[in-house]
Amino acid sequence: MDFSRLTLAYWCVLAAALLPYLSAYIGKAGGFGPRDNQQPREWATRQSGWRARALAAQANGFEGLAFFIGAVLIAHQLGYNQARVDLFALAYVLLRVVYVGMYVAGRGSLRSAVWALAFLVNIAILFIGA
C-alpha cells in the first residue's frame, strides 16, 4: 500500500473512526472488568454520570461517522480543492475531540454547540467545491 497517496482528509476519516473507541475506553477505564465482558451492554445500561456520558459519546461518534466518510469521499470524487477538504476534515475531527470532552465533562449546552458546528463543517465539505 502506498501511504503517500492518503490525503490528510483520509487520515481524518481514520481518526474519526477511532474516536468512538476512545470514548468507550474512557467510559470503561477502571470500571469494566472481565465479568462485565460477559454482557457489556447490560453493564453499560447500569452506568451513570461521566461513564454513561462517555458511552453516549461513543454512540454519537458512530452515528455521525457515515456522513463524514461520505462527505470526504464525495469531495475527493468530485475533485474539490484538496487543501480545503483537508482543512475542513481536520476541523471536523478536532471539533469531535472537543465534543467528546464536553460530553464527558457534562457540559450539555457547549457540547450541543460543538456538535452543531461539526455538523455544519461536515456539510461544508460537500459544498466547498461548488
What residue ranges do the domains of the chain occupy? Answer: 3-127
Averaged pLDDT of the chain: 95
Work out the percent of the chain whose per-residue pLDDT is above 70.
Answer: 99
Q: Is pLDDT of 130 > 80?
A: no
Q: Is pLDDT of 1 > 90?
A: no
> Which bin fits 113, alpha (ψ -120 to 50), beta or left (φ > 0)?
alpha
Q: Is the dihedral of CA 117, 118, 123, 127 positive or negative?
A: positive
Query: What does the pLDDT look like over 22-80, one tens digit per residue?
Result: 999 999 999 999 899 999 999 999 999 999 999 999 999 999 999 999 999 999 999 99
Q: Is the dihedral of CA 51, 57, 63, 68 positive or negative?
A: negative
Q: Whole-model pTM?
A: 0.94
Provide the CATH number for the domain formed by 3-127 in this structure: 1.20.120.550
Q: How far is CA 114 from the centre of its chain?
A: 12
pLDDT band at 112 (very low <50, low <70, confident <90, very high): very high
> Which bin fits 39, alpha (ψ -120 to 50), beta or left (φ > 0)?
beta
Predicted pLDDT at 66: 97
Predicted pLDDT at 101: 97
pLDDT band at 129 (very low <50, low <70, confident <90, very high): confident
CA end-to-end distance (rounded Å), the chain: 32
Pick from 57, 47, 36: nearest CA to 104: 57
